[in-house]
Amino acid sequence: MNNHYQSSIEGLSPDSTSHVNAYTVSHSPLSATPSVHSGQKPIHRFPRNMSHLLYFLLFFFPISNALAGTQIGPIHFDQDNVSPALQAFALLTILSLAPSILIMLSSFTRIVVVLSMLRNALGLQQTPPNTVLISLSLFLTLFTMMPVAKAIYTEAYQPYENREINTSTALNRAAIPLKQFMIKQTREKDMHVILQLAKEPLPASADEIKLYQLIPAFILSELQTAFQIGFMIFLPFLLVDLIVSGILMTMGMMMMPPLSISLPVKILLFILIDGWDLIVQALVGSFN
């Protein structure tokens, strides 16, 4: 086939051969140049980038001319219009940070830790459940923090609602009762540790303590106090475990787990002494 095609080309005249070569080159897929036939002008395509630029100019100049005729005046904030928006924003911010605020700035940490240690001391893993413990801790926190909440409402929120003070003054007034509560519950040793880490001297008065320094010291003090109360709760139940284990060893019942006997004994003892009332009284009284 190739020999026949070669012989047919060799048999053509020189002019015919040149036309064949031109046709072959122009129709080759590897050819990057457009074919130019005799008597026809070459076709010049408009570049794609230039077409995009043209479209941009056609749409941009009418918009720019329209904007050139408009005047943007100064923006004025009206207190009546801004106040509801700021209140909604502050409310959403408080709701989003409510768990952290509740843990860091209230008595919730001490209460929930003590109740959790009480459950472990009784030997009950999931009774009461976490939902019950957290709910009880929340309401006890609300009970103990009610004087602080009333002071914040009276001294900060009501004047701000009546437009007697601005937002900055309201926040400063709200921080005063909260700082007083935390300072009363913070140990001096923990405050010294935080100030040493911050490399700052001890303030002359409690009012000069900054809030970001007081919060970690307050949390450390709450954990320390909660563990002290939890240790006192553990002691009587630990004695019950030791007594039950000793009795079982004396009777030769070493195969029986002591927990199966000591658990109902501890629950009965806790009920007889009105344990829940004692725990709540101890927790609430520890904040006075």
Tens digits of residue pLDDT in 136-146: 998 999 899 89
Please give the structure tokens belonging to residue 76: 């004025």
Residue 255: what pLDDT?
Answer: 75
Q: State the Cα–Cα distance between residues 85 and 91, nearest whole angstrom.
A: 10
- Tell me how far apart the 2 most distant CA atoms of the chain are, in Å: 127
* pLDDT, mean over the chain: 74
Backbone region of residue 205 per phi and psi (left: phi > 0; alpha: psi in -120 to 50; beta: other values): beta
What are the angstrom distances between the C-alpha of 15 and each of 10, 11, 145, 216, 239?
A: 12, 12, 108, 99, 120
Residue 48: what pLDDT?
Answer: 54
**Amino acid sitting at position 34:** P
* Calculated CA dihedral for residues 50, 56, 57, 58, nearest 10 degrees: 110
pLDDT at 91 over 60: yes
Q: How many percent of the chain have pLDDT more than 90?
A: 10
Q: Is residue 182 a contact partner of residue 220, using CB atoms and an 8 Å limit?
A: no
The band of 227, judged by pLDDT with boundaries at 50, 70 and 90, is very high
Placement of tokens 């009965």 in the chain: 268
Please give the structure tokens belonging to residue 202: 């001890």
Q: State the Cα–Cα distance between residues 186 and 41, nearest whole angstrom.
A: 94
pLDDT at 114 over 90: yes
Q: State the Cα–Cα distance between residues 220 and 284, nearest whole angstrom.
A: 19
Q: Mean of the pLDDT values across residues 134-160? A: 88
Closest CA to 246 of 125, 238, 120: 238
Residue 228: what pLDDT?
Answer: 92
Beta carbons within 8 Å of 244's beta carbon, 6+ residues apart? 258, 261, 262, 265
Please give the structure tokens belonging to residue 18: 């040149």
Q: Mean of the pLDDT values across residues 125-152? A: 89
The band of 222, judged by pLDDT with boundaries at 50, 70 and 90, is very high
Q: State the Cα–Cα distance between residues 149 and 257, nearest whole angstrom.
A: 49
